[in-house]
């Protein structure tokens, strides 16, 4: 194996072997651009070293050969006393790991060569400064000396001189400092700073190898899901100096504006400086455009090179360069990071330039970027007074007066106030308040807590689990730790707060907000063709069209009212994949549900059901109308009944107090009994879903009847209803068969009554492991499957979806056990395996089985790709995530 590649031997496609930096240096070299000569030690050499604890034997010789070639090319030897070749040794992995690994500059300097450098450069101060930088960097990163020791010595030297910055230290000061640094190395390591240049180089290469496995690098990789066995490459590059006088300098540049995508001259330049000075902020940089005045020749050359790079990479590139005494050198390039808005604009600009095609344009953007563009945002330039931070549960920026209960939220918002609903956690009772509020803030609960799921569904800003904030609903107060760490500060009802659902940050007072033009566009309030439509909207419009053209997955919405359905349709939904009927049982209807639960006799029960029937029917008719011509999957009642009853503690207290006053009311007593009767230790695993339908006589029948009659009436009104009935929480085909037989009976009856054919289909959710494992049998009785990946994740992992993110997930994320919650992105190996096996088994039984997913994962970018790969027919997600799902489905197919 070959362990070392000269820059002339590599190219940009060898990132696995040469790392990102090395591959791009080689690419630029071969494009004929001015790259200081050098070579790259491969990731393979690194891996072998890490495996065996010692360099592969051939490496030393290969490095020697490449060094000799470099010395011939440069016409000087590494560390040559009268005119030293100096090199930098830098890490460079396949995936960029910013700041995680090591770099050493000025390798080759020694007591002998420092004077040679001074003579050659004609600058003694420069030479001694370079030498002290070498000892400092080498001491710290290669020899493991505490970096503080050098910093302190440097501060002392400045203090002794009365200097503020190191520029004020002269050659003699720096020479003294070098001695001091050498002492530090000797004391800390028990050895002298190595004077042999080759030894310096070998030790530096080894240090870069070792830096692959520092704790921080390992942690970073776990979090970013970068495999741990890739290793890093090492780039050895001849040094060029930007700090050799006013005709030298260093800078960064972008081929386009990374913030807007606009073409032009973007970047910063610092005269008479090295790269690290820019970072240290010792002096202020000037805009790159000013270089034109300072050094016309280098400027023109740089512009030329930037154009070459962009045409070559067919993308925005960022660049690091140095000018050494009027000579331009390229030190690095890569495809540059950009904002979400720039990503969309650049993608379409490049299509227009004929540089990339539509399929490639889709790879240049992603759903996370689109999601970012869809949320109103806080104006980040404004001043803001942060008081806490929670989980970024549903993005957006919301400002309003603090309210601590649903009732006040509704009352205040009716009178025109904007409010933020603040609760310890929310439950279905808070729904009205959540609808009325601009945003929701909770101090408990994770990304799949009630507050988070419902808020995301509504496209409403939500920060949940802000644990350092104390919510006291009785006193109507929110307490936060004071910023100085001493005491607390209090937000009372009516005080203005601002919450950022994209960062989880909570602010006191009003932070200004800017609306999203992209949402205005999706809502149809702004037309991509219109003169005033800005470039961003045009770009989004075009990219969405590319995605819709190629995607195979259809995209549906999780929606349970006509308003959400209509919005979903504007956003491009091709039907409803999940209508949760329990949301139709709340509010004023709750009393009817209570009557159903309390019913002692069949008559009472059917009276309650009869009262619910027309209400449900009305809801379905509206929904079918909003989605006319498109499929609407209605799921029969899922949550345990106790969710529709009052809280057990509150009710017990009320009854006890009433009993003490001797005016206990009959209904409350019956309610309390029912609450006790229905109380379950683990309601998620209890009487819910199909189980309810099997034990509460008439419940599912009523729902099926409401669906069928609504469909029949829509037909009579010349509509085109396409209802699909879905049974939740099925674990075995027998459950499904019983419900199915009864449903078919009801549907036939209504078809006869109305003289229509309804073509209703009947399917099931696959959301329990047993359902997935027996999918082949279940498919015998189901027209379709919809994977409920929320419950499936909950039951496969044994994690409570409502509690887990607030309890131990943070620890799991920190330890790198997950990079992301499995409730957010599908766990491919576990939950995903059940899904793909169930797809295969289901289709084996019934080749025309329709397959979808309606858990939260249906709108998650990475998960959408997975669902595309396993061959689902559609994903279903909350209305606001539909554009993201469309885009990702397109990207998966392109």
Question: In the bound complex, what is the minimum distance in angstroms from residue 831's beta carbon to Mg ion?
Answer: 13
Task: Report if residue 730 touches ligand PEP, rule: CB under 6 A.
Answer: no
The answer to whether residues 876 and 556 touch, using CB atoms and an 8 Å cutoff, is: yes
Q: How many CA atoms lie within 13 A of 172 on its CB side?
A: 2
DSSP string for residues in 477-522: EEEEE-TTSSSEEEEETT-EEEEETTTTEEEES---EE--HHHHHH
The answer to whether residues 255 and 309 touch, using CB atoms and an 8 Å cutoff, is: yes
Question: In the bound complex, what is the minimum distance in angstroms from residue 853's beta carbon to ligand PEP?
Answer: 8
Question: Quick check: is 66 catalytic?
Answer: no
Task: Report if residue 451 touches ligand PEP, rule: CB under 6 A.
Answer: no
Residue-wise burial string across 135-160, b where 16 or more C-beta atoms lie within 10 A, e elsewhere: bbbbbbbbbebeeebbeebbeebbee
Q: Which is nearer to ligand PEP, 36 or 446 (CB)?
A: 446
Q: Which is nearer to Mg ion, 298 or 558 (CB)?
A: 558
- CA–CA separation, 339 and 374 (whole Å): 13
Contact positions with ligand PEP (CB under 6 A) in 222-281? none
Is 366 labeled as ligand-binding? Answer: no
The neighbour count for residue 571, using CB atoms within 10 Å, is: 23
Token pair for 35: 């790259």
- 815 phi and psi angles, rounded to 5 deg: -80, 0
Question: In the bound complex, what is the minimum distance in angstroms from residue 689's beta carbon to ligand PEP?
Answer: 8
Strand order in the sheet with 477-481: 470-472, 477-481, 488-492
Strand order in the sheet with 286-287: 286-287, 263-271, 249-256, 317-324, 327-335
Task: Report if residue 578 touches ligand PEP, rule: CB under 6 A.
Answer: yes
- CA–CA separation, 188 and 145 (whole Å): 6
Q: How many CA atoms lie within 13 A of 258 on its CB side?
A: 15
Binding-site partner at residue 322 among Mg ion, ligand PEP, none, CB < 5 to 8 Å by type: none
- CA–CA separation, 72 and 70 (whole Å): 5
Element (H, E) at 542: helix 535-550
Contacts of 11 (CB under 8 A, 6+ apart): 23, 26, 27, 30
Is 788 labeled as ligand-binding? Answer: yes
Out of 317, 579, 854, 877, pick the active-site residue: 854
Selected from 173, 709, 791, 860, the binder of ligand PEP by CB under 6 A is 791
Angle at 161 between CA 156 and CA 165, to 5 degrees: 75
Question: In the bound complex, what is the minimum distance in angstroms from residue 855's beta carbon to Mg ion?
Answer: 7
Selected from 136, 274, 443, 790, the binder of ligand PEP by CB under 6 A is 790
Selected from 315, 564, 709, 767, the binder of ligand PEP by CB under 6 A is 767
Q: Which is nearer to Mg ion, 401 or 635 (CB)?
A: 635
Is 886 labeled as ligand-binding? Answer: no
Question: Quick check: is 450 catalytic?
Answer: yes
Question: In the bound complex, what is the minimum distance in angstroms from residue 638's beta carbon to ligand PEP?
Answer: 6
- CA–CA separation, 538 and 534 (whole Å): 7
The neighbour count for residue 6, using CB atoms within 10 Å, is: 17
Question: In the bound complex, what is the minimum distance in angstroms from residue 581's beta carbon to ligand PEP?
Answer: 10
Q: Which is nearer to ligand PEP, 28 or 557 (CB)?
A: 557
Contact positions vs Mg ion (CB under 5 A): 767, 788, 791
Contact positions with ligand PEP (CB under 6 A) in 623-642? 638
Residues in the chain: 894
Contact positions with ligand PEP (CB under 6 A) in 850-869? 854-855
Give me the residues paired with residue 724 across strands: 633, 761
Q: Which is nearer to ligand PEP, 788 or 822 (CB)?
A: 788
Task: Report if residue 580 touches ligand PEP, rule: CB under 6 A.
Answer: yes
- CA–CA separation, 594 and 611 (whole Å): 12
Out of 450, 583, 642, 868, pick the active-site residue: 450
Contact positions with ligand PEP (CB under 6 A) in 141-170? none
Is 635 labeled as ligand-binding? Answer: yes
Is 791 labeled as ligand-binding? Answer: yes
Binding-site partner at residue 789 among Mg ion, ligand PEP, none, CB < 5 to 8 Å by type: ligand PEP
* Part of the chain binding ligand PEP (CB under 6 A), chosen from 11-19, 159-167, 503-511, 789-797: 789-797
Question: In the bound complex, what is the minimum distance in angstroms from residue 875's beta carbon to ligand PEP?
Answer: 12
Binding-site partner at residue 580 among ligand PEP, Mg ion, none, CB < 5 to 8 Å by type: ligand PEP
- CA–CA separation, 851 and 838 (whole Å): 10
* Part of the chain binding ligand PEP (CB under 6 A), chosen from 241-249, 268-276, 785-793, 824-832: 785-793
DSSP string for residues in 250-293: EEEEEEE-TTT--EEEEEEEEET--HHHHHHTSS--EEGGGHHH
Number of residues that bind ligand PEP (CB under 6 A): 10
Contacts of 240 (CB under 8 A, 6+ apart): 36, 322, 324, 327, 329, 331
- 609 phi and psi angles, rounded to 5 deg: -65, -40
Binding-site partner at residue 253 among ligand PEP, Mg ion, none, CB < 5 to 8 Å by type: none
Q: Which is nearer to Mg ion, 23 or 557 (CB)?
A: 557
Q: Which is nearer to ligand PEP, 110 or 790 (CB)?
A: 790
Task: Report if residue 103 touches ligand PEP, rule: CB under 6 A.
Answer: no
* Part of the chain binding ligand PEP (CB under 6 A), chosen from 29-37, 309-317, 536-544, 788-796: 788-796
Binding-site partner at residue 805 among ligand PEP, Mg ion, none, CB < 5 to 8 Å by type: none
Backbone region of residue 24 per phi and psi (left: phi > 0; alpha: psi in -120 to 50; beta: other values): alpha
* Part of the chain binding ligand PEP (CB under 6 A), chosen from 100-108, 394-402, 783-791, 836-844: 783-791
Token pair for 309: 């790079």
Question: In the bound complex, what is the minimum distance in angstroms from residue 643's beta carbon to ligand PEP?
Answer: 12
Contacts of 162 (CB under 8 A, 6+ apart): none
Question: In the bound complex, what is the minimum distance in angstroms from residue 616's beta carbon to Mg ion?
Answer: 20
> Helix 861-869 to helix 882-893 angle, to the nearest 10 degrees?
50
- Point out the residue whose Cβ comes nearest to Mg ion: 791
Task: Report if residue 788 touches ligand PEP, rule: CB under 6 A.
Answer: yes
Percent helix / strand / coil, the chain, rounded to 5 = 50, 20, 35
Binding-site partner at residue 367 among ligand PEP, Mg ion, none, CB < 5 to 8 Å by type: none
Binding-site partner at residue 855 among ligand PEP, Mg ion, none, CB < 5 to 8 Å by type: ligand PEP
Q: Which is nearer to ligand PEP, 313 or 785 (CB)?
A: 785
Q: Which is nearer to ligand PEP, 578 or 612 (CB)?
A: 578
> Helix 562-570 to helix 602-626 angle, to the nearest 10 degrees?
20
Binding-site partner at residue 578 among Mg ion, ligand PEP, none, CB < 5 to 8 Å by type: ligand PEP
Element (H, E) at 353: none
Catalytic residue IDs = 450, 854
Q: Please give the annotated binding residues for Mg(2+), written as ranges.
A: 767, 791
Provide the binding-site residues for ligand PEP, judged by CB under 6 A: 578, 580, 638, 767, 788-791, 854-855
Q: Please give the annotated binding residues for substrate, written as ranges.
A: 580, 635, 767, 788-791
Q: Please give the annotated binding residues, written as ranges.
A: 580, 635, 767, 788-791
């Amino acid at each position: 194996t070959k362990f070392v590649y000269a820059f002339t031997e590599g190219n940009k496609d060898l990132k696995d072997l040469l790392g990102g930096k090395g591959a791009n240096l080689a690419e630029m070299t071969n494009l004929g651009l001015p790259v200081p000569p050098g070579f790259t030690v491969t990731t393979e050499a690194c891996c072998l070293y890490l495996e065996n604890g010692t360099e592969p034997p051939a490496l030393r010789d290969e490095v020697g050969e490449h060094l000799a070639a470099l010395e011939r090319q440069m016409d000087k030897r590494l560390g040559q006393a009268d005119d030293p070749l100096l090199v930098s040794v830098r890490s460079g992995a396949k995936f960029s790991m910013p700041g995680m690994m090591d770099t050493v500059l000025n390798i080759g300097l020694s007591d002998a060569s420092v004077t040679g450098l001074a003579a050659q450069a004609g600058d003694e101060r420069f030479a001694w400064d370079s030498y002290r930088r070498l000892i400092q960097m080498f001491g710290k990163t290669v020899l493991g000396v505490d970096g503080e020791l050098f910093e302190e010595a440097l501060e002392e030297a400045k203090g002794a001189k009365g200097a503020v910055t190191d520029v004020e230290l002269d050659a003699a000061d720096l020479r003294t400092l070098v001695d001091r640094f050498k002492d530090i190395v000797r004391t800390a390591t028990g050895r002298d700073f190595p004077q042999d240049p080759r030894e310096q180089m070998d030790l530096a290469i080894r240090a870069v190898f070792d830096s692959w496995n520092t704790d921080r690098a390992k942690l970073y990789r776990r979090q970013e899901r970068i495999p741990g066995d890739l290793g890093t490459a090492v780039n050895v590059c001849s040094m060029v100096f930007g700090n050799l006088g006013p005709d030298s300098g260093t800078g960064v540049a972008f081929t386009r504006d990374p913030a807007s995508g606009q073409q032009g001259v973007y970047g910063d330049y610092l005269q008479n400086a090295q790269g690290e000075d820019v970072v240290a902020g010792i002096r202020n940089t000037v805009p790159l455009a000013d270089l034109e005045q300072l050094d016309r020749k280098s400027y023109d050359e740089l512009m030329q090179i930037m154009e070459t790079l962009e045409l070559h990479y067919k993308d925005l590139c960022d660049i690091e360069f140095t000018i050494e005494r009027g000579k331009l050198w390229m030190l690095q390039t890569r495809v540059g990071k950009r904002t979400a808005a720039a990503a969309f604009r650049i993608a379409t600009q490049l299509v227009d330039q004929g540089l990339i095609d539509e399929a490639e344009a889709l790879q240049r953007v992603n759903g996370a970027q689109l999601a970012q563009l869809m949320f109103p945002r806080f104006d980040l330039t404004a001043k803001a007074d942060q008081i806490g931070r929670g989980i970024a549960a549903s993005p957006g920026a919301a400002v309003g007066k603090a309210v601590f209960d649903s009732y006040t939220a509704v009352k205040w918002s009716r009178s025109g106030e904007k409010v933020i609903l603040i609760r310890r956690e929310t439950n279905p009772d808070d729904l009205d308040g959540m609808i009325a509020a601009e945003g929701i803030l909770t101090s408990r609960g994770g990304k799949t807590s009630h507050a988070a799921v419902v808020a995301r569904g509504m496209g409403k800003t939500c920060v949940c689990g802000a644990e350092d904030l104390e919510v006291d609903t009785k006193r109507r107060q929110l307490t936060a730790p004071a910023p100085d760490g001493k005491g607390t500060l209090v937000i009372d009802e009516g005080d203005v707060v601002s919450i950022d659902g994209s960062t989880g940050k909570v602010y006191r007072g009003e932070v200004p907000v800017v609306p999203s033009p992209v949402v205005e566009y999706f809502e149809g309030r702004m037309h991509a063709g219109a003169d005033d439509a800005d470039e961003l909207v045009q770009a989004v419009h075009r990219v969405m069209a590319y995605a819709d053209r190629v995607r195979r997955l259809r995209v549906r919405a999780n929606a349970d009212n006509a308003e959400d359905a209509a919005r979903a349709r504007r956003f491009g939904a091709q039907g409803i994949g999940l209508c949760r009927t329990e949301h139709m049982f709340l509010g004023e209807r709750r009393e009817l549900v209570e009557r159903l639960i309390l019913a002692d006799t069949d008559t009472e029960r059917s009276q309650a059901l009869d009262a619910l029937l027309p209400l449900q029917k009305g809801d379905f008719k509206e929904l079918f109308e909003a989605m006319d011509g498109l499929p609407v999957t209605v799921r029969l009642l899922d949550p345990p009944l106790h969710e529709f009853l009052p809280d057990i503690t509150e009710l017990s207290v009320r009854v006890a107090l009433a009993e003490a006053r001797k005016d206990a009311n009959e209904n409350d007593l019956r309610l309390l009994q029912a609450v006790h009767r229905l109380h379950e230790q683990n309601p998620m695993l209890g009487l819910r879903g199909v189980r309810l339908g099997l034990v509460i006589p008439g419940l599912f029948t009523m729902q099926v009847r409401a669906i069928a009659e609504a469909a029949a009436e829509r037909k009579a009104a010349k509509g085109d209803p396409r209802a699909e009935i879905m049974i939740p929480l099925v674990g075995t085909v027998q459950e499904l068969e019983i419900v199915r037989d009864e449903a078919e009976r009801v549907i036939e009856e209504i078809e006869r009554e109305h003289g229509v054919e309804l073509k209703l289909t009947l399917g099931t959710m696959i959301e329990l492991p047993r359902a997935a494992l027996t999918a082949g049998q279940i498919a015998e009785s189901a027209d379709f499957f919809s994977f409920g990946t929320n419950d499936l994740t909950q039951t496969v992992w044994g994690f409570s979806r409502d509690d887990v993110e607030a309890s131990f997930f943070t620890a799991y994320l920190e330890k790198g056990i997950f990079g992301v919650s499995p409730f957010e992105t599908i766990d491919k190996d576990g939950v995903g395996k059940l899904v793909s096996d169930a797809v295969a088994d289901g289709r084996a039984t019934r080749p025309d089985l329709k397959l979808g997913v309606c858990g939260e994962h249906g709108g998650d970018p990475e998960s959408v790709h997975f669902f595309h790969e396993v061959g689902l027919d559609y994903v279903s997600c909350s209305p606001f995530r539909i554009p993201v799902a469309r885009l990702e489905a397109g990207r998966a197919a392109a």
